[in-house]
Amino acid sequence: PYLGQGGHAYLQEWLWWAGLLCMGVGEAANFAAYAFAPATLVTPLGALSVLVSAVLSSTFLNEQLNVHGKIGCILSILGSTVMVIHAPQEEEVSSLESMAEKLKDPGFIVFAVCVLVSSLLLIFVAGPRYGQSNVLVYVLVCSAIGSLSVSCVKGLGIALKELFSGKPVLKEPLVWVLLVCLVICISVQINYLNKALDIFNASVVTPIYYVLFTTAVMMCSAILFKEWQHMVLDNIIGTISGFLTIVSGIFLLHAFRDMPFTSDLLPLFLQQGRADLHASWRSTDRHQSCQHQPLLPSEDKGFQSTEEEEEGESV
């Protein structure tokens, strides 16, 4: 398989493996965050990694960060701040037994079955037909499977906390089931995300993947941990507004990253107003210059007539 065809040629590049290692370190820190905070809060804050990536690319790779990108960075920071302020509180899950009870909830079982069935349809039915032409096919697979991987991470985080407290959690079958499911989910995500990035432009894949993945994780977390059940209306509106603000910032940051900002990009009415403003300035300057022009010749004429009178008297 060749690059640009959704193959696996990137596995031969050492730079890809180095990037994967760095991503692994970052995901380990992200793993720890899921163990102590609601998934609805942790996942949207991943937008800050996109922001940091844009700033570092502008600094070290000499990539241009235009006006749209700077506005997108500001919107991402504001949206993240709003989401932190209005973050939901999940139900307390302090043991593997309570985690197992939540995984047996009928609502979560229906959600998981829907995710698996839709992912299989996308992989085996829609993928061969539309995978090379529609960016949503592979990105939807990554997002749907990613919502289940976050649930596995949450359960393993609880297991690690119990392990550090001295409990024999390694004897629990649920721990190994969650670990196997996590490895499978992450493998599927990496495979199909790289397919999408290999076929389509990263500036298109990144914002779409962020929006779909975050939406899927928020839905899964709301069903599994009942995070939205006890939220007041103000916090619901604040969380949704913060998320939409982040989405707008990510869109501006990526969709217009290669577009220079000039006056030609302004709407027609703004260009007309700008032209009228310049015309008014020019007419004002001309009017002022016309007002000053008669003064100088009159002074010169007066000065010349005075000299002529003095010369006549001297003669």
Q: Per-residue pLDDT tens for 269-281?
A: 555 555 555 565 5
Q: What percent of the chain has pLDDT over 90?
A: 10
* Higher-confidence position of 13 and 281: 13
pLDDT at 260: 64
Give the end of a domain, one of 210, 230, 250: 230
CA distances to 224, 295, 305 from 300, in Å: 91, 9, 9
Would you report the helix, strand and coil content of the chain in percent, each value rounded to 5? 80, 0, 20
Shared domain check, 156 and 64: no
In a domain, 270, yes or no: no
Calpha distance 2→76 (Å, rounded): 36
Domain coverage including residue 143: 94-230
In a domain, 5, yes or no: no
> Residue range 221-233: average pLDDT?
79
pLDDT at 268: 60
In a domain, 9, yes or no: no
Shared domain check, 126 and 56: no
How many independent structural domains does the chain possess? Answer: 2
Shared domain check, 51 and 145: no
CA distances to 96, 97, 180, 305 from 167, in Å: 11, 13, 21, 112
pLDDT digits (tens, 9 = 90+) for 116-170: 999 999 999 988 888 888 888 999 999 899 889 888 888 888 888 888 888 888 8
pTM greater than the 0.75 cutoff: no
193 pLDDT higher than 70:
yes
Give the end of a domain, one of 230, 250, 278: 230
* Higher-confidence position of 292 and 161: 161
Shared domain check, 137 and 226: yes
pLDDT level of residue 42 (50, 70, 90 thresholds): confident
pLDDT at 36: 73
> Residue range 297-310: average pLDDT?
49
In a domain, 183, yes or no: yes
CA distances to 4, 54, 263, 270 from 276, in Å: 49, 37, 14, 10
> Residue range 172-199: average pLDDT?
89
Shared domain check, 98 and 56: no
Shared domain check, 46 and 118: no
Shared domain check, 236 and 216: no
* Higher-confidence position of 177 and 34: 177
